[in-house]
């Protein structure tokens, strides 16, 4: 287990670097937004475009992996949503709770972790997981929130607004353009390929530092309604334990996936809650406090949970 800890330690060290530099004032209050925008709008899209443009189509179409990973996300999200609504929770809040329990941080932590643990060969599948999480699951939550908050004629605009948002999402647009380039059969010009490599190479370290900055900004928030420690504990357990367990059940006993594919699906499902739920909670002013705490606690606890999983899978 110690050797696995050494594998993930540099990743969490980068998160800690962002956290410390923000809390000590080395980086100012706008650092979180600006570093995050650099990752989301430049570095990560460059990486996704490059991966897709140079990928073998057989690497992209992985239906068994897609089913296993999607099952973990969908079942946990759906169950959390249903239970919270049955408890009398507003649908908008229930949707955000569903994201808290099922939204793995594939964009910021998935790429560097998978690259360190498995290698470049798993980047295409990681990109697929990122699209499923950051685009499809995110879009489902947005539609649910909008339907819950808007009434009458405004509901007719929900689908249009969601589609426009997805088209403008660089995490979807970049791999889509990369897929078109791949289908063309052309080869990336050497200079452009090098440009993408330099820009995309900044995605992983900057994403991890941005996550640390985000956690530092939201670790001690006291605004908003009182939160339930029990609810937080349940959401954390769902994210770090239940979701990877469901993914393993679908991947291994049900689908009988090859060990490498199953391992990758479970590893990505075991990632802590990403920043997407907090962005929605803050935007809609719904449960932002509890969401920030779930992101923080799952990220901290995942140091141990991911190390434990890697030790078990290696055995």
Q: Which residue segment(s) compose the domain that 191 sits in?
A: 2-314
59-82 pLDDT, tens digit each: 677 899 999 999 999 999 999 999
Given a cut of 50, whether residue 224 has pLDDT beyond it is: no
CATH label of the domain that carries residue 288: 1.20.1530.20
From CA 11, how far away is CA 204, in angstroms rounded? 9
Query: pTM for the complete prediction?
Result: 0.78
Residue 274 pLDDT > 80: yes
Most confidently modeled range among 84-93, 149-158, 202-211:
84-93
pLDDT of 95 strictly over 60: yes
**Which among 83, 111, 118, 108 has a CA at the least distance from the CA of 98?**
83
Rounded to whole angstroms, the Cα distance separating 68 from 315 reads: 22
Q: Which of 4-13, 168-177, 211-220, 249-258 has maximum average pLDDT? A: 249-258
Name the 3-class secondary structure at 205: helix
Domain count within the chain: 1
Label residues 90-129 b or e (16+ Cβ within 10 Å = b). Answer: eebbbbbbbbbbbbbbbbbbbbbbbbebbeeebbbbbbbb
Tokens 């295409």 sit at which residue? 124
Q: Give CA 24 to chain center in angstroms.
A: 27
pLDDT beyond 90 at 267: yes
Residue 162's pLDDT band (cuts 50, 70, 90): low
Predicted pLDDT of residue 154? 57
């Amino acid at each position: 287990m110690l050797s696995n800890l050494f594998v993930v330690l540099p990743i969490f060290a980068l998160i800690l670097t962002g956290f410390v530099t923000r809390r000590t004032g080395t980086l100012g209050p706008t650092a979180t937004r600006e570093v995050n925008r650099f990752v989301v709008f430049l570095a990560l899209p460059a990486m996704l475009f490059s991966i897709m443009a140079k990928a073998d189509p057989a690497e992209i179409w992985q239906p068994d992996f897609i089913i296993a990973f999607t099952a973990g996300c969908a079942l946990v999200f759906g169950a959390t949503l249903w239970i919270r609504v049955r408890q009398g929770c507003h649908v908008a809040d229930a949707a955000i709770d569903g994201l808290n329990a099922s939204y793995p941080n594939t964009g910021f932590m998935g790429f560097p972790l998978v690259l360190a643990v498995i290698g470049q060969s798993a980047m295409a599948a990681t990109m697929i997981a990122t699209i499923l999480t950051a685009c499809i699951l995110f879009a489902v939550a947005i539609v649910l929130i909008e339907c819950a908050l808007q009434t009458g004629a405004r509901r007719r605009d929900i689908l249009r607004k969601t589609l426009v948002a997805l088209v403008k999402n660089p995490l979807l647009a970049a791999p889509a353009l990369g897929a078109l380039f791949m289908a063309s059969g052309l080869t990336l010009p050497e200079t452009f390929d090098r440009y993408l490599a330099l820009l995309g190479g900044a995605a992983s370290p900057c994403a991890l530092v941005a996550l640390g900055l985000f956690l530092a900004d939201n670790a001690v928030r006291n605004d908003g309604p009182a939160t339930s420690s029990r609810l937080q504990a349940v959401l954390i357990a769902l994210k770090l334990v239940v979701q990877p367990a469901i993914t393993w059940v679908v991947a291994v006993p049900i689908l009988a996936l090859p060990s490498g594919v199953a391992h990758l699906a479970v590893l990505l499902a075991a990632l802590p809650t990403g920043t997407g739920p907090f962005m929605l909670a803050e935007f809609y002013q719904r449960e932002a406090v509890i969401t920030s705490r779930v992101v923080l606690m799952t990220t901290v606890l995942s140091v141990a949970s991911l190390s434990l999983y890697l030790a078990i899978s290696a055995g």
